[in-house]
Amino acid sequence: MNNNDTQINLIDVNANFIHDVATPLAIANMNIELLEEYLPTLLALQRQQNDPNSIPDHLIQAISNAPKLVKDNLASIQHEVGELKSQLKSFSENGDDLTIKRVNHKKEDIDLSNGKLKNINNADAPPTLDILLVDDETIHQDLGRSVLKNHRVDVAENGLSAVECCQIKNYDVILMDMQMPKLDGCQATERIRSFAPASTVIIGLTNMPIHNRRETLENMGFTDFLEKPLKLDILMSILQDIGLK
């Protein structure tokens, strides 16, 4: 194995580590934020109780300080993961990273005859896009539903379910997690491309650098790529770019 192969393997190992820890960190951070919001009120009510078995004052103080201590430690871990992620991106070929250079979409590849993509930035417009969100992690499913609340959203929890959904219904946009059990995003995309309308936009969701795999992934059928967790403004920017071609 040469140095380049070793470097790519190290990148893949570290990228898998980032993928595995990103969601638990996000869940922990959300739970700590809930504790910060509601714990002071709960402890204040506890102090008002005359129950002899109530929590002693010195423990109440320690409990009050706990969310901040945990949050500070989480922030430190997230910072380190972010630094590792930045280093992985710097190793990507040709400066390739997840902020994405746009795919050169051909106008004839995207059917705009129904005008669906033209009003996607209008917050007051009724749901205009049929979107399939494919992700095996509940937190990303919930976040996706929240972010895409102005659109019609179906959720599939793995690649096999995504293929089945697309056999039943045509979607304007498919948001495809790259790493899933049963059938991963790449395999699912290839299967869907074999029968879905050419106008279907398939966006790969990942929190890992794709480095030298971009051309291969595009040939599999991906239209573009988006970093997890899903951010509406970046997604809408991608779709608007396609619509303006």
Predicted local confidence at residue 59, as pLDDT: 61
Token pair 């009724």 is at which residue? Answer: 126
Domain that holds residue 161: 107-244
Residue 95 CA to residue 87 CA, distance in Å, equals 11
Query: What angle in degrees, to the nearest 10, is found between the helix axes of 138-147 and 3-48?
Result: 80
Q: Look up the CATH number of the domain holding residue 143.
A: 3.40.50.2300
How distant is the alpha carbon of residue 154 from its chain centre?
Answer: 16
CB within 8 Å of 217: residues ≥ 6 apart? 186, 204, 210, 225
E strand segments, the chain: 130-134, 152-156, 173-177, 201-206, 224-227
Task: Tell me the pLDDT tens digit for each residue of 58-114.
Answer: 566 666 666 676 666 666 666 666 666 666 666 554 444 444 344 443 333 444 344
If asked whether residues 49 and 18 sit together in one domain, one would say: yes
Q: Is residue 132 part of a domain?
A: yes
If asked whether residues 32 and 131 sit together in one domain, one would say: no
If asked whether residues 202 and 117 sit together in one domain, one would say: yes
Q: Is residue 96 part of a domain?
A: no
Walk along the chain (245 residues) and give the pLDDT tens digit of each residue.
Answer: 555 554 445 555 555 565 566 666 666 666 677 677 767 777 677 667 666 566 666 566 666 666 676 666 666 666 666 666 666 666 554 444 444 344 443 333 444 344 444 444 444 454 489 999 999 988 888 888 888 888 999 999 999 999 999 999 999 999 999 988 889 999 999 999 999 999 999 999 987 777 678 889 999 999 999 888 788 888 888 887 776 33
If asked whether residues 113 and 210 sit together in one domain, one would say: yes
Q: H or E stretch including 157?
A: none
Q: Answer whether 200's CB lies under 8 Å from 170's CB.
A: yes
Domain count, the chain: 2
CA atoms within 13 A on the CB side of 72: 5
Final residue belonging to a domain, choices 31, 56, 91:
91
Token pair 């917050």 is at which residue? Answer: 123
Q: Answer whether 244's CB lies under 8 Å from 123's CB.
A: no
Q: Is residue 97 part of a domain?
A: no
